[in-house]
Amino acid sequence: MRCLLIDDDIPTIEALKGILNWSDYGITEVVAAYNMQDAQRSFESREPDLIICDIEMPRGSGIDMIKWVREHQYEGGFIFFTCHESFEFASSAISYSADSYLVKPLDKQKLEAALLKSLDTLRQKRTLGEYSKMGLTWLKNKDLVEKSFWRDVLTAVISPRMDLIQGEIMKRELSLSVDSDYVLFLASVPRSQIEGVWADSLFQYAFANLCSEMMFHQVNHDRVIAYQADNVFYNAIIVEGVSDIGELKEKGEQLIRMCKQYLKCTATCYISETAAISQLSQSREQLELLDASNIIFRGVVHDQKEPFNYKITERYTLDCDLFMMLFIQKEKLQIVNRLKKELETLSVQNRLDSATLQAIREDFLQVVYSFLSRNHIQAHRLFASDRTQQLAQHAEHSVFDFMKWAQLITDQTIESVKAALQSEGVVERAKRFIHDNYTQELNREDVAASVYLTPDYLAKVFKNETGLSIKEYLNEHRIRTAKQLLIESHLPIGQIGMETGFDSISYFSTVFKKLTGETPNAYRAKHRSSF
């Protein structure tokens, strides 16, 4: 899919491009336009699937843009953002069927929610459009239409007003009543539970069918809505006219057992309070928040009316001095085991809520950063890998996710310090980096970054070990390579200088004569004759 970003402010465009991993949402191309005229030309050259547009621009507003694309029969997604909340802007956006209206500064979670809403609406339009093109009637596609209806209700694509919902029921020719009471049953499994075991799409299919069979004794029931949010797999199940919550809890407990037995994962279930059809989207949001705050009460069925029984009398503090000593002693196993024991003890005591887990994470990072600083290692380079960043984002979701992150951080920290303390090893690795990259423009900061040390500290270690500065060693290696090329090739002097990393022939000649006592031409003439 293709997304068009429109804003006259270039930094905002760049921030939008970098704030999300667009490919995760199926968007393979993100293009930018800085005014309405550029946007119209881009639109005409190739119609985007989604448009994200600022409202207030000097050469044609966002309202002008959405009016223009709707006049061109554009049915794709359209998200507005602006610096100022305005009823006039909002009402205009709604009148032209904008999907969302966001206020700057952009919040990543709100943007993700708006994006998912737009793409889901777009997929539904295209799905239903395809069925229409094929000449199928609504009645022949009742299951698809009803599932689409419930998805739109849960995500508030259909505005949570009784009259609008009733209108959609009539439009889609569904046998539903807005007067019924409903209970929302939400089953969740964190993505970290199935990593390396299941492909996402396959797990989502299996999880949804298991929920459908357990609740309705059939697969792919139209009131089982599967979706993924914030790296959690959810199945939202709409149950009408519940008179016995106990029976629903029994089904949830059976579902949890079946997930553990057949899907090899721990599911957690939540039951909402009885709600009108117009309140189901709010119920979904409340149950998702409940799930996000659930650190230790996993693998059971929770009633929304019964809050988690945390026993927090005073805030827990990590013993930073103890963990610093373990890091100094490089006791990786003891660090991980001690941390795990602390979390398990707090869990048993019902004292591990999300705020406590976050506090432990901050204290643990404080120890790690202090330890790295003592050893002249730059943490932001050491922890820059995608894997480390991914685990860090999920570390506060559960004890399981926290321990995966803590173990990786501990391993990386202690192994990097071990390497740094072996100065010979560090210098050798720095030399290899120079040998591999001498043709590029290098400085001591680049070399230091390759071994995760500060430039000043590496320069000191390197000088003590080799007797040369990093710059001197780099030039000596470049000249050694240049001498070989002068003898064995017919390349011009200037080209040899450039290929060995010098930015000008004059600087190459100066360094060459300083280190060899001869100019490049004289060296070639002398040694090629005897070669």
Does the bond joining 455 to the residue before it have cis omega, within 30 degrees of 0?
no
Q: Report the pLDDT value the prediction gives residue 408, as an integer from 0 to 100.
A: 94
Q: Report the pLDDT value the prediction gives residue 447, as an integer from 0 to 100.
A: 94
Fold of 144-303: Alpha-Beta Plaits (3.30.70)
Spatial contact of 271 and 187, defined as CB atoms under 8 Å apart? no
Residue 5: name the closest of 62, 44, 64 by CA: 62
pLDDT reading at 382 higher than 90: no
Q: Nearest 5 degrees, angle CA 234-CA 239-CA 240? A: 155
DSSP-derived letter for residue 453 is: B
Full strand arrangement of the beta sheet holding 2-6:
29-33, 2-6, 50-54, 77-82, 100-103
Q: What is the 3-state secondary structure (H, E, C) of 168-199?
A: HHHHCCCCCCCCCEEEEEEEEEEHHHCCCCCC
Residue 123: name the closest of 160, 95, 148, 100 by CA: 148
Q: Measure the CA–CA gap between 402 and 192, rounded to whole angstroms.
A: 11
Q: DSSP 3-state helix, strand, coil percentages of the chain (rounded to 5)?
A: 60, 10, 30
pLDDT in tens, 112-137: 888 888 888 888 777 666 555 544 44
Q: What tokens does 193 get?
A: 């539970």
Q: Measure the CA–CA gap between 308 and 294, rounded to whole angstroms.
A: 8
pTM: 0.54
**pLDDT tier at 185 (50, 70, 90 boundaries)?**
very high
Tell me the mean pLDDT in the region 475-498: 94
Query: What is the percentage of the chain residues whose pLDDT exceeds 70?
Result: 94
Residue 184: name the closest of 260, 109, 280 by CA: 280
Q: Report the pLDDT value the prediction gives residue 210, as an integer from 0 to 100.
A: 94
Tell me the mean pLDDT in the region 7-13: 88
pLDDT in tens, 334-348: 999 999 999 988 888
**pLDDT tier at 89 (50, 70, 90 boundaries)?**
low
Q: Report the pLDDT value the prediction gives residue 135, as an integer from 0 to 100.
A: 44
Task: Find all residues with CB under 8 Å of 156, minimum gap 6, and list them.
Answer: 117, 281
Q: Measure the CA–CA gap between 383 and 466, rounded to whole angstroms.
A: 29
Q: Report the pLDDT value the prediction gives residue 325, as an integer from 0 to 100.
A: 93
pLDDT reading at 307 higher than 80: no
Task: State the residue for tokens 């979706």.
Answer: 227
Task: State the residue for tokens 């032209």.
Answer: 96
Q: List the chain domain ranges.
A: 2-126, 144-303, 320-417, 423-529
DSSP string, 356-405: HHHHHHHHHHHHHHHHHHHTTB-HHHHT-SHHHHHHHHHTTT-HHHHHHH
Spatial contact of 523 and 516, defined as CB atoms under 8 Å apart? yes
Residue 431: name the closest of 401, 469, 399, 473 by CA: 473
Q: Report the pLDDT value the prediction gives residue 448, as an integer from 0 to 100.
A: 92
pLDDT in tens, 436-472: 999 999 999 999 998 888 999 999 999 999 999 999 9
- Report the chain's C-alpha Rg in angstroms: 31
Residue 336: name the closest of 347, 345, 328, 327 by CA: 327
pLDDT in tens, 42-65: 999 999 999 999 888 888 888 889
Fold of 423-529: Arc Repressor Mutant, subunit A (1.10.10)
Residue 233: name the closest of 291, 272, 286 by CA: 291
Residue 35: name the closest of 64, 70, 74 by CA: 64
Q: Measure the CA–CA gap between 102 and 99, rounded to whole angstroms.
A: 10
The neighbour count for residue 209, using CB atoms within 10 Å, is: 17
Task: Find all residues with CB under 8 Å of 113, minimum gap 6, and list them.
Answer: none
DSSP string, 267-318: -EEEEPPPEEGGGHHHHHHHHHHHHHT-SS--SSEEETTS------SS----
pLDDT in tens, 205-237: 999 999 999 999 988 899 999 999 878 999 999
- Report whether CATH 1.10.510.10 matches the domain 2-126: no
Alpha-carbon 102 to chain mean position: 20
Q: Report the pLDDT value the prediction gives residue 530, as an integer from 0 to 100.
A: 54
